[in-house]
Structure 1
């Protein structure tokens, strides 16, 4: 048996349909490309359906990058249909983020909503993550209640770095 075969996991069952909301367009300024709400922390049950859905939208997925402590188990390679998807597990990846890379080198960043999240909150969080105007990172979407509208700051309220004193100051544009 080859080394690669020892680390490849085949999933025989039919993948479940993922609870997934993707941005209608890919915006350069957007932080995330959508949100995903898995039903469990079992990667063998959850990832095949997600990989198939992402592959249908963005082209074949070749790699997933995930947080190493979020999921119940780990694998190096996962067979989904006739393709093998590699997985990288990192402590430094946000636990609420999944990064998929396609064969074309495109990166798809998804908010991962914890399975135990109430339906209303999960749906709003996924919609916010899929909003092309969203500039919040995964963790910030779930920490701030999705019901609360994002507060738009006036340009005068934006913080600025004070080069003279080395501190953050409020920028008041009314002064000349």
Structure 2
């Protein structure tokens, strides 16, 4: 697997936990055709809930070595060109249900593969209420919440590429999360979302 590195960041420091897992590269696909062999729709359902329209600025964390390692430990993605990927390209284990704050940790790790991220779609009810636009690391990101979005997933979309991540619930026990991260980020693994969670004793 090819390792994803974070971009330099400034602001508050991240909390560091005792946990490490290798992070690989990222399997990407165009919005019209998947280069991983998985078919994806170019549109989402229009059942997005109405939330505050004001943007939410979030400071970028300080890019300390410890914080960077801890953030990478919570993200696992398949290598580019790894072939079949199943329903997800990898997995992400956020600290909390604060979507905008958690994206400030996630998006810098994906920058090298996706380029500038334009939109993130998520399932309503799995995250705290969020504005439809947010400033993350100095970039304006559109946030789209849908009731019809697949449970426990987020889509991170750039101009021509997208990655779908399995979201491991933030309150998952540290003893269970690593196995989900490892399986979801293993090249060639095509397990369903339900199977990935069930293997670690988690329900979909």
Partner SS state of residue 187, structure 2: coil
Paired residue for 1:68? 124
Is it true that 1:22 corresponds to 2:69 in the alignment?
Answer: no
Structure 1 stretch 110-119 or stretch 19-28: which is displaced more?
19-28
- Structure-1 separation of matches of 2:130 and 2:192: 24
- Structure-1 separation of matches of 2:146 and 2:133: 15
Give runs of aligned pairs for residues 1-176 of structure 1, distance below 5 A.
6-12=53-59, 14=61, 17=68, 18=71, 19-31=74-86, 32-103=88-159, 105-145=160-200
- Shift, 1:113, TM fit: 0.4
Judge conservation of contact 1:67–1:93 (CA < 8 Å) in 2. Answer: yes
Q: Deviations 1:105-137 (Å, cap 9, x if unpaired)?
A: 211010100011122321110111111211122
- Structure-2 separation of matches of 1:92 and 1:38: 21
- Structure-1 separation of matches of 2:113 and 2:132: 24
Which structure features the higher share of strand residues?
1
- Structure-1 separation of matches of 2:82 and 2:134: 30
- Shift, 1:56, TM fit: 2.7
Structure 1 residues without counterparts, runs of 5 or longer: 1-5, 147-176
- Structure-2 separation of matches of 1:120 and 1:83: 35
Judge conservation of contact 1:9–1:78 (CA < 8 Å) in 2. Answer: yes
Cα root mean square deviation, aligned: 1.9
Partner SS state of residue 25, structure 1: coil
Structure 2 residues without counterparts, runs of 5 or longer: 1-52
Partner SS state of residue 176, structure 2: helix
- Shift, 1:25, TM fit: 2.8
Q: Deviations 1:24-75 (Å, cap 9, x if unpaired)?
A: 3343421222110001111132111111211233211111110011001222
Higher relative contact order (CA 8 A, sep 6+): 2
- Shift, 1:98, TM fit: 0.8
- Shift, 1:13, TM fit: 5.0
